[in-house]
Amino acid sequence: MTQAETQKRASVPDATTALASPTIAFAMLGSGGSGVMTAAEILLRAAARAGYFGLMTKSFGPQIRGGEAAAFVTLSTQPVETQADQVDLLFAIDWKNAGRFAGELQLSTDTLVISGEAGAELPDIATAPRPRLEEINLKALTRSHKGTRPNMVALGAVAGAIGLPRDAIADLVQERLSKKGEAAMAQGLTAVDLGFDEAANFALAQLAPAPEDTPRWIISGNQAAGYGAIRGGVRFAAAYPITPATEILEWLAPRLQKIGGLLVQAEDELASINMIIGGSFGGAAVLTATSGPGLALMSESIGLAVAAEIPLLVIDVMRGGPSTGIPTKSEQSDLNIAVYGLHGDAPHVVTAPNSISDCLFTAQWSTHLAESMQVPAIMLSDQSFGQALGIVEKPAELAFATRRAVAEAPGQDYQRYALTATGVSPMALPGTPGGQYTADGLEHSETGTPSSGVADHNRQLEKRLRKVVDFEYGDHWAQIEGDGTAAIVTWGSATGPVRQAMRRVDPEGRRLRLISLRLISPAQPARLARALAGCSQILVVEQSQMAQFFGYLKAQFELPPMADLYARPGPQPFRAAEIAAKLEEWLS
């Protein structure tokens, strides 16, 4: 514990300290228009201002608008990478269709369930686990206090129950309602106070004091990916909306505009990928974002970009598949199409962020890789990052030195696809006198002239492979933590739950080692061999029925025969308890 933390702790009254918990999870339920998402987001924001870490995920019924909704929030003094195994508090503004959240809501006898509907008949999901049941009559309270809204009372009650500071809540409520005038602000505060007063009747463990103040950000994986791309230099984007990638596009569109860039809504994914190929050919750093079905449509043209050596970034925010699958839930099942989905021998880059804030870094890094090697990069994010809001540490500002190699003053002997030492050839941008060439998906000679000759095909294939294989990826290729002899090899959104499970199973960090690959392709066999040195046990963890990651590792690396696998499909996200149980079994 730091000194500041010790001091803070010392200043908290004993009674509270006794009940303090470093992590508290709650859920809020309500039907369409009940305002659960607004309430939960204010709570998350207040926690961030108070210095906590957190994660908020949302779940909705199938209705396009106005259906039942559930917000899940975990707050902690430690970084939060996955929702807690079960909720400490469930607040239902009403119970309409609450049964739909059965698989996602984990309650126990320790859970406090507060029903906001007086005398309501509670559904099985709320009663079967035998939690403590309490009631706040939201209707009566809001009726007797003019202008107060049920979700604001609920917000106050949850804040009070888990020990979030009233001042931070009050500030946020006032900021939100400031446009609606003084009266609305006062009514909002009254509602919050009603909730706090009610909460005083229920005993619940309170959040332990927040750690030392460090700047926090509230950000979704989709926003982080968009911002990372902008930091990487992306200025032109074209895309077609698809869940769960759309928020990247909607975040980017006005911001690109602000900095002189542009996002175009294309007529389909075939158009979006080709529009960005055109933009990149013209010299802009470009991206498109999509999900599995869109990536499938784009794959022919990504092959074109490989052959024509056009840098671009495709972000695939993965969802349950195949086909329309489960658009609102996560899965790690697009790995095969991202790695193997192109026709021909088409070396390209596939990356994957390992946390919400890593979406920012990985998008920036992927842009850098694409531009440096003049190659398409596919970044595999997923719904559980994209549509979740995290309270994270403010991400570091990094800069990469390399830029696209451009032929500034091409001479008589300029060759667009010249065979160079690195395999990367300076690109002449349209407008540059003397650099005219035709970018081509047809195999070509060094000048770009179509050629089906053996020598040209072999040389150009070799060049395009060499430039991505020999590139110096540095330490970013993987996230490696711990040096135990039992290694867990994983990727993407499985990383957070694995990391949290490791902390539980091996709190001293002596037995386990985490290797989470950020660079999926091209494979780094020598690096992985070094990372695995000294391991006597290997477990691969992934969220895919067909174990696509495990299959890829077996194909690309000499994985020892003792390597074990824990793989299952979505839509249930991995929880730390599930992985911890698996680890215990595996280690014993």
Residues 405-444 touching another protein, rule: CB under 8 A, are 406, 428-442
Contact status: 236 vs another protein (CB under 8 A): yes
285 lines the binding site for another protein (CB under 8 A): yes
Count of chain residues binding another protein (CB under 8 A): 85
Stretch that binds another protein, among 4-12, 88-96, 297-305, 561-569 (CB under 8 A): 297-305
What is the smallest separation between the CB atom of 157 and another protein, expressed in angstroms? 21
Among 24, 234, 352, 494, binds another protein (CB under 8 A): 234
With binding defined as CB under 8 A, does residue 464 bind another protein?
Answer: no
DSSP one-letter string for 276-321: HHHHHHTT-EEEEEE-HHHHHHHHHHHHHHHHHT--EEEEEEE-B-
Instruction: Tell me which H or E stretch contains 230.
Output: helix 221-232
Determine the Cα–Cα distance for residues 185 and 173; give it in Å rounded to an integer: 7
Q: Which of 18, 401, 455, 526 binds another protein (CB under 8 A)?
A: 401
Please, which residues have CB within 8 angstroms of residue 148's CB and are 6 or more apart in sequence?
141, 142, 187, 188, 190, 191, 194
User: What is the spatial order of strands in the sheet that 349-351 belongs to?
Assistant: 262-265, 234-239, 285-290, 312-318, 376-382, 349-351, 519-521
CB proximity list for 585: less than 8 A, separation 6 or greater? none
Least Å distance, CB 400 to another protein, is: 4
30-38, 126-134, 179-187, 209-217 -> range binding another protein (CB under 8 A): 209-217
CB of 41 to another protein, least distance (A): 10
By the 10 Å C-beta count (0-12 exposed, 13-18 middle, 19+ buried), 588 is classed as: exposed
Q: How far apart are CA 160 and CA 163, in angstroms?
A: 5
Structure tokens at 588: 């014993």
Which residue, chain included where needed, has tokens 């839509």? 571
Select from 196-204, 295-303, 458-466, 473-481 the region that touches another protein (CB under 8 A).
Answer: 295-303
Given 8, 45, 329, 348, the residue binding another protein (CB under 8 A): 45
Q: Which span sits near another protein by CB under 8 A: 224-232, 496-504, 558-566, 570-578?
A: 224-232
Could you say whether residue 301 binds another protein (CB under 8 A)? yes
Verify binding: residue 174, another protein, rule CB under 8 A. no
Q: DSSP secondary-structure letter at 465?
A: H
Shortest separation between residue 251's beta carbon and another protein, angstroms: 9
> What residues from 310 to 329 belong to the interface with another protein (CB under 8 A)?
311
Contact string 357-396 vs another protein (x = CB under 8 A): -------x--xx-xxx------------------x--x--
Note whether 261 binds another protein by CB under 8 A: yes
How near is the Cβ of 429 to another protein at its closest, in Å? Answer: 6
Order of strands across the sheet that contains 389-393: 132-135, 112-115, 89-92, 23-30, 69-76, 53-60, 389-393, 216-220
Q: Under the criterion CB under 8 A, does residue 239 sit at the interface with another protein? A: no
Give yes or no for a contact between 244 and 317, defined as CB atoms under 8 angstroms apart. yes
474/507 with CB nearer another protein:
474
Nearer to another protein, 237 or 531 (CB): 237
Q: Burial level of 201, CB count in 10 A (0-12/13-18/19+)?
A: exposed
Q: Does 454 bind another protein (CB under 8 A)?
A: no
Binder of another protein out of 259, 421, 454, 455 (CB under 8 A): 259
The stretch near another protein (CB under 8 A) out of 106-114, 138-146, 218-226, 494-502 is 218-226
Residue 48 is a binding residue for another protein (CB under 8 A): yes
- Residue for token digits 């970034």? 313
Rg (alpha carbons) of the chain, rounded to whole number: 26
- Comparison of 442 and 562: residue with beta carbon closer to another protein: 442
Are 472 and 499 in contact by the 8 Å Cβ rule? The answer is no
Min dist. Cβ of residue 289 to another protein (A): 15
255 binds another protein (CB under 8 A): yes
Q: Under a CB-based contact definition with an 8 Å cutoff, are residues 310 and 337 in contact?
A: no
Residue 389 three-state SS = strand
Contact 261, 251 (CB under 8 A): no
Q: Give min distance, CB of 237 to another protein, in A.
A: 10
Could you tell me which residues are beta bridge partners of residue 479? 516
Is 257 a binding residue for another protein by CB under 8 A? The answer is: yes
Smallest gap from Cβ 544 to another protein, in A, equals 30
283, 254 Cβ separation under 8 angstroms: no
* 342 belongs to the binding site for another protein (CB under 8 A): no
Contacting another protein within 95-134 (CB under 8 A): none
Q: Which stretch binds another protein (CB under 8 A): 14-22, 190-198, 282-290, 344-352?
A: 282-290
Contact 24/47 with Cβ under 8 angstroms? no
Span from 147-155, 300-308, 491-499, 510-518 in contact with another protein (CB under 8 A): 300-308
Q: Toward another protein, which CB reaches closer, 282 or 322?
A: 282
Q: Which of 90, 304, 338, 535 binds another protein (CB under 8 A)?
A: 304
